[in-house]
Amino acid sequence: MNTKDGIVKENLCPANLAFYKKNGYLIAPQLFSNDFIQELKEETNAIFSGKRGKVEGVINLEPNLSEKEILSRYAAIHFPHKISPIMKQGASDTKIANLLSKLVSPNVKCLQTMLFVKGPGKKGQAWHQDEFFIPTRDRSLTGVWMALENADIENGCLWVIPGSHKDGIIKERIANTNDQFADLETLDTKPYTEKDFQPVPVKSGDVIIFDGYLLHMSLGNMSKDRFRRALVGHYCSAESMLPWDQDGRQSPTQDFRDIFMVSGVDPYAYKGVEDLSKPFVRPDVLDFKKKKS
């Protein structure tokens, strides 16, 4: 199948849907305008500066620091949409909703946002599957990776193993020995080998959509002066009840209800929604086995 079938032009076509089914990802070039991307980048600086409200883990900063000095201290913030309307606007954009309504379900909810900055010298995230961390009941979990600036091999773009989502199996997690990964664990990628690993370089304003079972990772930012900022959202069908304890931060639940709808209707609207998630800085090494005290 031609890789151009994995590029979304305006609307999803049959070739795009077939590519996604086979490979587990798609690219939507220039989904966001330069002006909107610039707004998101400026908002990123404001969030990491503590100007949008409390974020667990943000250091009290002395005044007059440069953008580089501020962002270089961090890897990512979880749930930026909780304190930033423009981040929520990006995650719920109608163009994203339109794509997800055709790939996932007419009814789609957003469960989480993450704002990555990954400055020069920062390590990457080891091989993983998003479904391991956010368990849906119906295999509908979908990631949307929105590039706020050019991402390539040098500054740590996303890598995927095309087709690795199809068996619907959560792979074994093993000790990490790759010094480009910050994590303590990675996945056993067998039977895949390095020839199956594919980088997904994108331009600012591009969006990558990928299946929750797809094996993916990123390597370290080896550039001297370029960040790799990205806004990431995780979505699933609104029909799916979500048994997510948010990696130990919430009490176990049959249906995590701190969500917002991006497409269609919520069949569980009678349950209402809750305000459970709080923004926090993602540590450079994130231990998902450690329970939040």
pLDDT digits over 221-236, tens only?
999 999 999 999 999 9
86-88-93-94 Cα dihedral, nearest 10 degrees: -120
* Mode of pairing for the β-strands spanning 260-263 and 108-116: antiparallel
Angle at 104 between CA 257 and CA 75, to 5 degrees: 65
Residue pLDDT, tens place only, 154-174: 999 999 999 999 999 999 999
| Highest CATH level, class, for 18-58+66-282 | mainly beta
Give the pLDDT confidence score for residue 13 in this predicted structure: 94
Contact (Cβ atoms closer than 8 angstroms) between residue 6 and residue 25: yes
Q: What is the pLDDT of residue 292?
A: 45
Determine phi and psi for 21, rounding to 5 degrees.
Answer: -65, -40
Please say if the pLDDT value at position 289 is more than 60: no
Mean pLDDT for 265-281 is: 95
Q: Are 188 and 174 in contact (CB under 8 A)?
A: yes
**What average pLDDT score do residues 186-190 get?**
94
* pLDDT tens readout for residues 5-25: 899 987 899 999 999 999 999
What is residue 272's predicted lDDT score, i.e. its pLDDT?
Answer: 96
Domain positions in the chain are 18-58+66-282
pLDDT digits over 201-220, tens only? 999 999 999 999 999 999 99
Judge whether residue 288 has pLDDT over 60.
no
pLDDT in tens, 29-60: 999 999 999 999 999 999 998 889 888 888 76
Question: 3-class SS at 92?
Answer: coil
Q: Average pLDDT for residues 228-251, to the nearest whole number?
A: 92
Three-state SS for 45?
A: helix
pLDDT score of 60: 65
Burial class (CB in 10 A: 0-12, 13-18, 19+), 182: buried
% residues pLDDT > 90 (the chain): 77
d(CA 32, CA 45): 19
Model confidence at 142: pLDDT above 90: yes
**More confident: 288 or 77:** 77
Q: Is the pLDDT of residue 1 over 60?
A: no
Mean of all residue pLDDT scores within the chain:
92
**Amino acid 291: pLDDT:** 46
The pLDDT assigned to 268 comes to 97
What amino acid occupies position 136?
Answer: T
